[in-house]
Amino acid sequence: MKPRWPMIVLCISVLAASTYSYPTKDEYVVFADNNQKSTVPIVDTTERPLAPVKMTDMRVRSEVALRYARTLVVTRVHNPDKRAQEVTYRMLLPETAFISGFTMILSGKSYKAYVKEKEEAKQIYTQAVSQGIGAAHIATKARDSNHFTVSVNVEGNTTAEFEMRYEEFLVRRNGLYNHAINLHPGAFVPKMEVVVHIKESQKITTLRVPELRTGNEVDATEKDPQNKIAAIQRGTNEREATITFTPDIKEQRRLAAIYVDKTKEKSSSEKYIGYSSDEEEDDDDNTVLGQFVVQYDVDRTDNNEILVNDGYFVHLLAPTSLTPLSKYVVFVLDTSGSMMGRKIVQLRNAMEAILSDLKPNDYFSIVEFNSDVKVHELKEADEEPSPTNSHYYSYFESRPSTPVTLVPSSPATAQNIAKAKVIVSRLNASGGTNIFSALDVALNLVQKGAQKKNETEPLPKAAAVAVTSTEATQKKGKELEPIIIFLTDGDPTVGETNTARIITSITEKNSGEKRAALYSLAFGEDADRTFLRKVSLRNEGFMRHIYEAADAALQLHDFYREVSSPLLSNVRF
């Protein structure tokens, strides 16, 4: 039998080496051993069922230094059958992480990656599988860049090992650094260990390890239960700490049961990490454990810190004595037909909580959009609500566009907040998704400012009070910081639908010294997160994914807490 070259093919979406850069297209990686040869095993042609592939152990080691995390995930699977069989290995990385290395070890031989074109990589993989040679092929989703799948052909009676390395910069949110590690092995693992080692230049003042969470964006607080299995060992200098988590099979079953209970109502597109053979594909959701999270903060007596290494420096600044700036918040809320049902209810609940968090010196506007765009007036709260359409008609109706009246903003008084809550409680889902017009109107409101009335409409009495108050505030040197909170669950379907043109137009309009920070919330799995991420990053903000789960309202409120207290603006270096 002629010797053949063992070959492994890897298709992966390569993330750029930047914390805030993300891939938008697939790239393929192929790797091969140029020094070793092996023979093709004799193929067993019997029809007996394949012995299932078993995951033997999973080890995660994360080194966190100066708020920067380097994580290595090592997974081993064993094929007890004489015949080669394909195994699927799934991985879910944190949203801001990038891959720094991937290695596969087959029969003691290590294979590293290099890039090949998509079609060539797929062809090499197909040929290797047909010959019974160990091979791997990763298919990725550019739209969902942190989720990918590796298809691996494991030879009979051999063990395959996968080593994934990724890195991320930890961002301080709500007073804490959060380091999340996904533990979704796809099977109960006899040997599982997670070790997180933290080494900082300042003393670690806060260190918490909450119970595993189900993957949403709600950060745990000191009131939440702590992980009883995780062992925390602090260094003598108080600048280091090691957290070790080693759940046995019994604990894994308990965590998996909790996860299943919490996610029964989630969509079938839930993301997970792990492996499965073809026969066990449908059982993966039963062995999802959740996210292992380490939260910590460091001593900030000096308020700022400059770190220098290898000719590079980073200046970490977290002032505690600054008073939050007054802000003008424009809420841009998607009420298209796809928001019908639980989503619109969660939006109402979240907005009621968010409105309560507005400060007395803040101003706000509520922009609702579907096929049309409307800027709400607070006097609507005193009027009878409009009758709602039937569900069927509401979802599919497409109304002609109507002129938009730019209603002046409202100060965040107790009376105005109460009226705004009434308006929010009446939001209903209908029509299409006119994203461009909604953002365009929001920028018009920002550019007119809280102190200017609509040019064609008489200024309402209540708004005149707001104008006077705002002008007085600005005379004192306290300008309002413009913030746009933009929530949508889908793609643009009405008006301008080309996302590239939308990004360009909105960015060009949001120019000048006083740019608005645009924060996008992608609600559920259908929102175009690549588009929302780009439009936010180009407009002083960022995108956050809101999982379509029972706690979505909490996720929305938690996000608002992150951006609701700006301390500095127009910072230049």
Question: What tokens does 106 get?
Answer: 């087959």
In the chain, what are the helix, strand and coil shares in percent, each to the nearest 5? 25, 35, 40
Question: What tokens does 466 get?
Answer: 């707001």
Q: Rounded distance, CA 555 to CA 119, Å?
A: 40
Q: What is the 3-state secondary structure (H, E, C) of 525-558?
A: CCCCHHHHHHHHHCCCCCEEEECCCCCHHHHHHH
pTM listed for this prediction: 0.66
Q: Answer whether 75's CB lies under 8 Å from 90's CB.
A: no
Domains for the chain: give ranges and CATH numbers.
3-38+52-298 (2.60.40), 327-563 (3.40.50.410)
Q: What is the number of other CB atoms lying within 10 angstroms of the CB of residue 48?
A: 9
| Among 14, 10, 19, 145, residue whose Cα is nearest residue 542 | 19
Instruction: Tell me the backbone φ, ψ of residue 353, rounded to 5 degrees.
Output: -70, -40
What's CA 354's distance to the chain center, in Å? 20
Q: Rounded distance, CA 535 to CA 484, Å?
A: 12
Q: Indicate the SS3 state at residue 520.
A: strand
| DSSP secondary structure of 455-468 | SSSPPPHHHHHHHH
| Among 151, 160, 163, 152, residue whose Cα is nearest residue 100 | 163
| Residues whose CB is less than 8 angstroms from the CB of residue 476 and which lie 6 or more positions away in sequence, other chains included | none
| Residues whose CB is less than 8 angstroms from the CB of residue 381 and which lie 6 or more positions away in sequence, other chains included | 418, 419, 420, 422, 423
Tens digits of pLDDT across the chain (573 residues): 444 444 434 433 333 333 333 343 344 444 444 444 444 444 555 567 888 888 899 999 999 998 899 999 999 988 888 888 887 777 778 878 888 888 888 777 887 765 456 566 667 767 766 665 555 555 444 333 476 667 777 888 888 888 989 999 998 887 889 999 988 887 889 999 999 999 998 899 999 999 887 655 456 666 778 888 999 999 888 999 999 999 998 888 888 887 777 656 444 333 333 444 443 333 344 566 778 999 999 987 776 777 777 787 877 777 777 777 888 999 999 999 888 888 888 888 888 888 888 888 899 999 999 999 999 998 887 777 765 544 434 444 445 456 788 888 899 999 999 999 999 999 998 889 999 999 999 999 998 874 443 333 343 444 344 444 444 444 344 578 899 999 888 788 888 889 999 999 999 999 877 789 999 888 877 788 889 999 999 998 888 877 666 566 677 777 777 777 777 776 666
Beta strand pairing status for 204-208 and 290-298? antiparallel
